[in-house]
Amino acid sequence: MSVLYGIAAAATALLLAAALTAALRVLALRTSFGVVRPGARTPHTRPVPHLGGLAVTLTTGGVSAAGALTGLAPLGSTTATLLLATGAVALLGLLHDLRPVGARARIIVQAGAATVVVHGTQLGLFVGALTVLWIVFVTNAFHVLDTCDGAVGTVGVVTSLGLCVCAGAEGTGSLAVLLGLLAAALTGFLTYNWHPARMLLGGCGALSTGFLIACAALLVNAGHDAPASPAALFALTVVVSADAVLVLVSRRRAGRGLLRGGSDHIAHRLRRLGLTVPGVAVVLGAAAGLGTVTGVLLHRGTVGASVVWWLGGAAAVAVGLLLRVPVYAARRRVRAAEAPHSVDLVRG
């Protein structure tokens, strides 16, 4: 497999993803299919389709399949299994975008897909089960991070490129190509998702991106030293993990349901601190870049596993500081101003 093919495949994926995103946007707006209305689940003031993930998934899978069928980039059994499992998660996400699927059903499908991938790594029963739970956690962490234009796409591009480097170093060219195609497809999608977004990623794209990245991180680090491998997995997913922990701790302290939606994610808090929407995406991308570089250095053995304590400490400090940003009180004040005569709203 030549470098020239890799460049051509990435360029094709980027252009195809942008073209499919544009086509799906026009189709959605004309048919009102897969469109998020203002005030429903989005801060946007106009209808925005949320089928961008379908364009990313079709592009990544389609270009990968084309390379395998032509013999230019054979997938290999492990990468083919990962691609099929990711497709199942993407289909689940698409169904959830069109008609909400219960949390239990989503977790069952994600855990089943993760089990198929983990089974090929020959991990023990206990470690394998923990790994499946971690993949499900990261998959959903990517989904809930999708609260700001360009956020998930930027984090996904940065992390995919880092994992592409790791896969190339491991000699798994097919996995490196798949990750490169994902990064290119997300880049093409970002041309329509950068603020102000004209297309949203949706559950299809966010879940499949998180699943593919989590599984790829596992595959490239499987077989490495015990301390370095978990450290690299944490470093590569530090942003989405910090966001999930921030939300869980925040809702627990506020006595809110853990699965209840709210404007309490990192992106929302950074916006309250005065950052613009593009600024939030850049900050999250930069943080993901720091974690990804650390993960790559851990994978290559350039730094020791102890470096992850510095990264974890920085993430903990960031979460602690962001917890001080008043998101629920501000929301209550807004609701009270909208309905000043409603005692329940003021108290809620």
- Has residue 167 got a pLDDT over 90? yes
Are the CB atoms for 132 and 112 separated by under 8 Å? no
Q: What is the pLDDT of residue 1?
A: 55
Cα gap 331→264, rounded to integer Å: 10
Cα gap 137→186, rounded to integer Å: 21
Q: What is the pLDDT of residue 260?
A: 77
* 32-69 b/e (C-beta count within 10 Å ≥ 16 → b): eebbbeeeeebebeeebbbbbbbbbbbbbbbbbeebbe
Q: What is the pLDDT of residue 337?
A: 38
Work out the percent of the chain whose per-residue pLDDT is above 70: 91
- Residue by residue, DSSP assigns 218-256 as HHHHTTS-TTHHHHHHHHHTHHHHHHHHHHHHHHHHHT-
Are the CB atoms for 221 and 127 separated by under 8 Å? no
* pLDDT averaged over every residue in the chain: 89
Are the CB atoms for 344 and 280 separated by under 8 Å? no
313 versus 41: the higher-pLDDT residue is 313
Lowest mean pLDDT among 24-33, 53-62, 191-200, 264-273: 24-33
Using the 8-state DSSP alphabet, how is residue 260 labeled?
Answer: -
- Has residue 345 got a pLDDT over 70? no
Cα gap 280→273, rounded to integer Å: 10
Tell me the mean pLDDT in the region 151-178.
95
Q: What is the pLDDT of residues 242-255, one digit of tens each?
A: 999 999 999 999 88
Tell me the mean pLDDT in the region 264-287.
96
Q: What is the pLDDT of residue 344?
A: 28
